[in-house]
Amino acid sequence: MTDVAEDSRTIARDAPQYNASLVRREDATESLASFWVRFDGDPTPFEPGQYMTIGVFAEGKLMQRPYSVASSPRVAGSDGYEFYVRLVNGGQFTPLLWRLPEGHPMRMIGPKGKFLLEPEDDRTHIFISSGTGNAPFISMMRELLAVDRPRRAVFLNGVSYQRDLGYRDLVEGWQQNGEYPVTYIPTVSRPRDPSNVGWSGRTGRVEAILAPVLDELALTPDNSIAYICGNPDMILSAEETLLARGYPEPQVKKELYWPKGKEPRGDAPGAAISDE
């Protein structure tokens, strides 16, 4: 549709379909923010890795999109469902979301999705993400910590700029104090950008650092399982690397945030996702 500053669509404050509200938001950068949405009534149970669909009415049309939950299911009734979202300039829904003040009513449905942890799996979990694709892994780890069953994890997150590394403090903290047995491996793809001055970590896209990381940490199909989330090109490339190393397909789990090859749809007709 448009950039936030130019978005003049009227957002309905009331609608009979609204069943939740935006209880909190925290802006990390101009285009990355966390949003907490809570049902007006009882929370709906979900499993870490699943997503909810949130929306508002704009110009009489329900605009909504799916988002992976980043919080643990056990805080859904108190804090709500936490989402970590990138503003897509030219997108249909995120410019609306960015304009919503705390307390604004919303529609939320779900949960949905099959991007779930295997039960009782003690292999190393390789969590591979680009951008906000780290959200479902945060939910998984928070919940595993809450039940005191953390599973060994290698957590890769690829971004363009170091400021975009969401949940960095949380995961680095877990690693440093040993609360969660995680090896956190962030990477920035634009190391020469001035905003990445001082960056001493890995560089390059997350799919490009995957093979070296597998080698360095001796990760094999016998001792690990992979979960990949975010940008579809990244996912397909990382999957290729894993399959070539003998990981069977069911051992490579994927959550694509959009179909491969798709750009923001602008204000194309029929862009609202149906409320099913």
Ligand X SMILES: Cc1cc2nc3c(=O)[nH]c(=O)nc-3n(C[C@H](O)[C@H](O)[C@H](O)COP(=O)(O)OP(=O)(O)OC[C@H]3O[C@@H](n4cnc5c(N)ncnc54)[C@H](O)[C@@H]3O)c2cc1C
Sole window of 14-22, 54-62, 129-137, 209-217 interacting with ligand X (rule: CB under 6 A): 129-137
How far is it, in rounded angstroms, from Cα 139 to Cα 149? Answer: 14
Ranges within 39-68 binding ligand X (CB under 6 A): 51, 65-68
Q: Which residue is nearest to ligand X (CB)?
A: 91
Stretch that binds ligand X, among 12-20, 117-125, 138-146, 261-269 (CB under 6 A): 261-269
Size of the site for ligand X (CB under 6 A): 25
Nearest residue (CB) to ligand X, 221 versus 264: 264
**Total Cβ atoms within 10 A of residue 170:** 14
User: Greatest CA separation found in the chain?
Assistant: 55
Measured distance CA(241)–CA(250) in Å, rounded: 15
Here the tokens at position 186 are 């962030």
Determine which residue in the list 100, 117, 128, 135 makes contact with ligand X, applying CB under 6 A.
135
The three-state secondary structure class of 25 is strand
Instruction: Give which of 197, 72, 85 is closest to 131, Cα–Cα.
Output: 85
262 binds ligand X (CB under 6 A): yes
Q: Does 257 bind ligand X (CB under 6 A)?
A: yes
Q: How far is CA 256 from the centre of its chain?
A: 10
**What's CA 55's distance to the chain center, in Å?**
17
Residue 18 sits in the site that holds ligand X (CB under 6 A): no
Binding region for ligand X (CB under 6 A): 51, 65-68, 83-86, 88, 91-94, 113, 131-132, 135, 255, 257-258, 262-265
